[in-house]
Amino acid sequence: MKILYVYPLHIEGGSNIHAAEFIAACQRLGHQIVALSIPVKKGKTSANIIYKLLRFNINNFLNLVKFLKTYSGDKPDYIVIRFQTNHNLFFCIAAARLLSKLVLEINATRSIEPNGRTHSLESLLDSWSFKLAHRLFTVSTVVRSRLLISYKSLSLDKLSVIHNGCNQPKNYLTADTNKLILRLGLDGYETLVGYVGSFRSWHDTDSILSVAQNSPPTTGYLIIGDGPGRKACEAKAIAHNLKNVHFLGNIGHDKVYQYIELFDIALLTIPQKWCDQPGGFHGSPLKLFDYMAMSKPVIATASGDIKFIVEDGVNGYHVSPEDTDDILEKIVYLTKHKEFAKQLGRNGQSKVAEKYTWEANAAQVASLCLSID
């Protein structure tokens, strides 16, 4: 089949990784895929409704021109569009419905965020977008449930769940890993606990620092990533003299696996306010599948879909939001029981290989396309 895939292109982040991996997986499965990326531009916030409507129409018109040009040149069998909460692809969605068979991918709406605030016009555009699509899929059961509650006209039969994933990264030689440990000055630690994130509001790095503060000096913490909260996090580590916490900055996704290979234990911590939403945390974090694919035992906040992807005592451990005592207790236990920790990691790797590869993701999207009458 030939698929036109339309997606927002951010400066950095998981959205771009998802798009690149999905496109590559479709190609490996033998599908023709035409990718149209729409750069995400950060505009100035304004309370002026006239300005907002003008910007909305201009952005939508420019994106529609790109879409129609691509469509006319390739004539795809199906169109898959990654939904944007700012609705800059609304005209494209409307045109796609008229021209072809449309599948909409939904990661979130503004109403899913902790403050739960969304303008009535935004909700209307959400509803119209969902009605226009022949099929929709979300990245988690939580998003699907929230959409069904918020948008009464949505049919359960029309709305599927397709999680993110990860393909098996290449194996890294022990010699290369040891060289990297020496280069980073991490050879003095018995256990290395790692975290990958973008320092945004749904990433609980404060809990990681609290755990590090109470950890023995033989346990080191690696925090990989960049984002709006990084400077504050680093300042807090300095203020508390946390010499066992090492910030490695932004590392490209193609290289991050060699750093995840250094981890003995991986963390996925979500703040309380994000877990308090109906159904819990709504995301399908790429880092989780990356950790598991690299055979790392995961200590994860048990919220949303995370609590069934990470099986407590099988491929990792559950902890309650911001429960730093429990996180530390689990780290200490896995440090003392290294073979058990490795077995948890192997179990996680097997689960990803069985259920959560990008090929599995792409195959489910293709199946959804074929289900359209």
Same domain, 180 and 326: yes
Sign of CA dihedral 318, 324, 327, 329: negative
Same domain, 298 and 321: yes
Same domain, 195 and 342: yes
Same domain, 151 and 191: no
Query: Token digits for 206?
Result: 């404060």
Q: Give residue 16's pLDDT.
A: 86
Same domain, 196 and 84: no
What is the per-residue pLDDT across 222-248, written as a single tens digit (0 to 9) for each? 999 999 999 999 999 999 999 999 999
Domain range for 82: 2-165+357-370
CATH for 215: 3.40.50.2000
Same domain, 307 and 362: no
- Domains in the chain, number: 2
Same domain, 55 and 111: yes
pTM of the model: 0.92
Same domain, 190 and 102: no
Q: Give residue 13's pLDDT.
A: 66
Q: Give residue 151's pLDDT.
A: 86
Same domain, 122 and 232: no
Same domain, 28 and 126: yes
Same domain, 229 and 296: yes
Q: How many CA atoms lie within 13 A of 331 on its CB side?
A: 28
Cβ contact 275:301 at 8 Å: yes
Q: Give residue 108's pLDDT.
A: 82
Same domain, 145 and 46: yes
What is the per-residue pLDDT across 136-174, written as a single tens digit (0 to 9) for each? 999 999 999 999 988 888 888 899 999 999 998 887 777
